Amino acid sequence: MNWKKVCAELSAIECVGAPVEVAGVQYDSRRVGRGDVFVAMRGETTDGNRYLEAGVAQGAAAVVTDSREAYERLRREWPDLPAALVTHGRRALAEVSATVMGHPERRLALSAVTGTNGKTTTAFLLEALLRSVGRTSVLIGTIETHVGMEVRVSPHTTPESRDVLEIFADGVRAGATEAVMEMSSHALEQERVWGIPVDVAMFTNLTQDHLDFHGTMERYFLAKARLFEGVGAAPPRVAVINGDDGYGRRLLDMRLRSQMMAYGLESGEYRAEEVRLGAGETQFIFKTPHGDALIRSSLTGRVNVYNLLAASCAALARGLTLEEIVAGAAAGMQVPGRFEVVPSTNGVTVVVDYAHTEDALRNLIALARELVEGRGGRVITLFGCGGDRDKTKRPRMGRAAGEGCDLVVLTSDNPRSEDPMTIIEEALVGVRETGTDCIVEEDRAGAIAIAIRAARAGDIVLLAGKGHEKVQISRDGTVPFDDVAVAAGVLRELE
């Protein structure tokens, strides 16, 4: 790729230098290789412009910067090096990456999902439905990334644009024609998805989360709404929105330039009726303007009815028939860390789930309560609250756990730089308001053992908060930790 071609597609204040050939794009100076464009940009925790010298020493063929001072230094100290000055570093990263990689985003039909809860399951479901009719897809999400049949680790829910586009390019080479992405509010606010066209956009729900970053629920909502307005690209062709959610109704009332598909159990043209729920079994009549169909799935609970509705609507928007959706949903799937049942032989059901907000925890506990009704079982819930995150939700989560459970076990969940017991004490305030018995155990492995050993046949033990995560993060560092593995070990000891 020629530098002049990059300049032609870059929204730059100034773009100078000889028409050299560039081979790749990097925003981390440590990863710059010979022939790469180094995009030096301001971030939340560091400023890439501090590492100009390192990028040049690594062999950068050109540098793009969002700092006038850095640009003037480049022109002064490395006058023969091609360089560009831009206003928005992240937008420039997206533009340069798309150009150098040959615009893979234009060769994939992207379906993107946002919301507080349900993003991961909805994304997995939609990818499974697309795969069931023979389509090859890219999936980018919280748990893992898929490029066709290849599974990769996902370091972030939504990576930087350069990394997204690289995955897209790999997908195109693997024969993919579809892409499915979770788009977090952080990524939308920070424009990590700048210029990436979305064909189908989905909204699941909005409840309190990430206020440490957004400050208010209104700003949190407006960040999510950017998906439906287009972030440096045209608005989505189709908007799939949960009409039962208050913020979803706000989106439906906005003058969005998309074909609207409203879904829900209580509202919308695309509804679930005659819902029947059981452990490992969900079924409902999918009512649509195009006809009705009986959906059966091995997923559990009311929340998954919403996830199935969202994915089914998106699948219809991507051209699948009702018959194909019915067959795909019935094929069965398990999303890691989303109501994941740990095998047991002692009559106790142990479930690992990612629920880490008040609303998600309430939904999880309500589902467990439905499953034990009529058999005299109890609901035991283990949870913790993350450190360096919104502190106001800690007592609320404690209250949610106490109001729905027979026993609460309060423990640590990625305390990060904070004191674990300080976090626990703040959540304990909410539990105490309910009068529900509560056991405090800072060590999460010990807490899991306490929760499972306290259960008897017919009970459900919910291990909430970490879900698919495989590490515990504290001020002492990051160590391997897997709720499923720890629970399975305790259950083996009880056999």
| Token reading at 408 | 């609460």
- Taking the C-alpha atoms of residue 392 and residue 397, their distance in angstroms, rounded to an integer, is 9
According to the model, what pLDDT value does residue 311 have? 98
pLDDT of res. 255: 87
pLDDT above 90 (res 280): no
Count of CB atoms within 10 A of residue 6's CB?
A: 25
CA atoms within 13 A on the CB side of 58: 20
**pLDDT tens, 46-93?**
899 999 999 999 999 999 999 999 999 999 999 999 999 999 999 999
Report in angstroms the alpha-carbon separations of 124 from 178, 260, 277, 279.
13, 22, 20, 20
Q: Are strands 36-40 and 340-342 parallel, antiparallel or unpaired?
A: unpaired
Say if CB 100 and CB 94 are below 8 A apart: no
29 touches 37 (CB < 8 A): no
Least confident window among 115-119, 207-211, 229-233: 207-211
pLDDT at 213: 65
Token reading at 35: 């022939």
pLDDT of 424 above 90: yes
3-100 CATH, one of 3.40.50.11890, 3.30.360.10, 3.40.1390.10, 1.10.10.10: 3.40.1390.10
The one-letter amino acid at 397? M
Q: DSSP secondary-structure letter at 21?
A: B
Residues of the chain with CATH 3.40.1390.10: 3-100
Q: Is 234 helix (H, G, I), strand (E, B) or coil?
A: coil
Sheet holding 83-86, edge to edge: 12-16, 83-86, 62-65, 36-40, 24-26
Local structure of 288: helix, strand or coil: strand
CA atoms of 105 and 228, how far apart (whole Å): 17
Q: What pLDDT score does 374 carry?
A: 74
Please give the average per-residue pLDDT across 219-223, as a whole number: 93
Share of the chain above pLDDT 90, in %: 86
pLDDT of 336 reads 83
- Return the structure tokens found at 275: 């819902």
Closest CA to 315 of 130, 135, 112: 130
Question: What average pLDDT score do residues 159-187 get?
Answer: 96
pLDDT over threshold 70, residue 234: yes
User: Which tokens go with 232?
Assistant: 């440096």
Nearest to 253 by CA among 228, 236, 276, 275: 228
Residue 372, exposed/middle/buried by CB under 10 A (0-12, 13-18, 19+)? middle
How long a stretch of residues is the chain?
495
Distance in angstroms (rounded) separating the CA atoms of residues 280 and 295: 14
Rg of the chain, C-alpha, whole Å: 24
CATH 3.40.1190.10 in the chain: give the residue spans: 104-330
How far is residue 446's CA from residue 14's CA, in Å, rounded to a whole number? 59
Instruction: Say how far apart CA 389 and CA 111 lie, in whole Å.
Output: 29
Q: Give the E-state strand segments of 384-459 in sequence order.
A: 407-410, 438-440
Say what percent of the chain tops pLDDT 70: 99
Give the closest residue to 157 by CA, choosing from 130, 136, 186: 186
The H or E element containing residue 340 is: strand 340-342
Q: Does 212 have pLDDT greater than 70?
A: no
More confident residue, 435 or 332: 435
What span, in angstroms and rounded, lies between the C-alpha atoms of 472 and 469? 8
Q: How many angstroms separate the CA atoms of 418 and 421, rounded?
A: 9
Residue-wise pLDDT tens digits, 354-383 = 999 898 899 899 989 988 887 889 999 999
Average pLDDT over residues 321-331: 96
Q: What does the DSSP 8-state code read for residue 193?
A: T
Q: In sequence order, what E strands does 122-207 have?
A: 137-140, 144-147, 150-153, 178-182, 200-203
- Please check whether residue 363 is in contact with residue 474, taking contact to mean a CB–CB distance below 8 angstroms: no
Gap between the Cα atoms of 41 and 46, Å rounded: 9
Q: What is the pLDDT of residues 21-44, one digit of tens each?
A: 999 999 999 999 999 999 999 987
Residue 279 has pLDDT above 80, yes or no: no
Which pLDDT band, with edges at 50, 70 and 90, does 214 fall under? low
Amino acid at 322: L
Residues 286, 296 contacting (CB under 8 angstroms)? no
pLDDT band at residue 211 under the 50/70/90 scheme? low
Q: Are 297 and 309 in contact (CB under 8 A)?
A: no
CATH superfamily of 104-330: Mur-like, catalytic domain (3.40.1190.10)
Task: Give the model's confidence band at 210: pLDDT under 50 very low, under 70 low, under 90 confident, else very high.
Answer: low
Q: Which amino acid is at 135?
A: R
- Please provide the CATH number assigned to the domain covering 340-494: 3.90.190.20
The more confident residue out of 367 and 422 is 422
Confidence of residue 301 (pLDDT cuts 50, 70, 90): confident
Does residue 198 have a pLDDT over 70?
yes
User: Which residue type occupies 182?
Assistant: E
In the chain, list all ranges with CATH 3.90.190.20. Answer: 340-494
Residue 157 has a pLDDT of 65
**Nearest Cα residue to 464 out of 391, 406, 412:** 412
Q: Which parts of 143-199 fold into alpha helices (H)?
A: 161-173, 185-190
The pLDDT mean for the chain works out to 94
pLDDT digits (tens, 9 = 90+) for 442-471: 999 999 999 999 999 999 999 999 999 999
Cβ count near 7 (within 10 Å): 20
Residue 166: the pLDDT is 97
Beta bridge pairs of residue 478:
473
Left if phi > 0, otherwise alpha if psi is -120 to 50, otherwise beta: which for 134? Answer: left
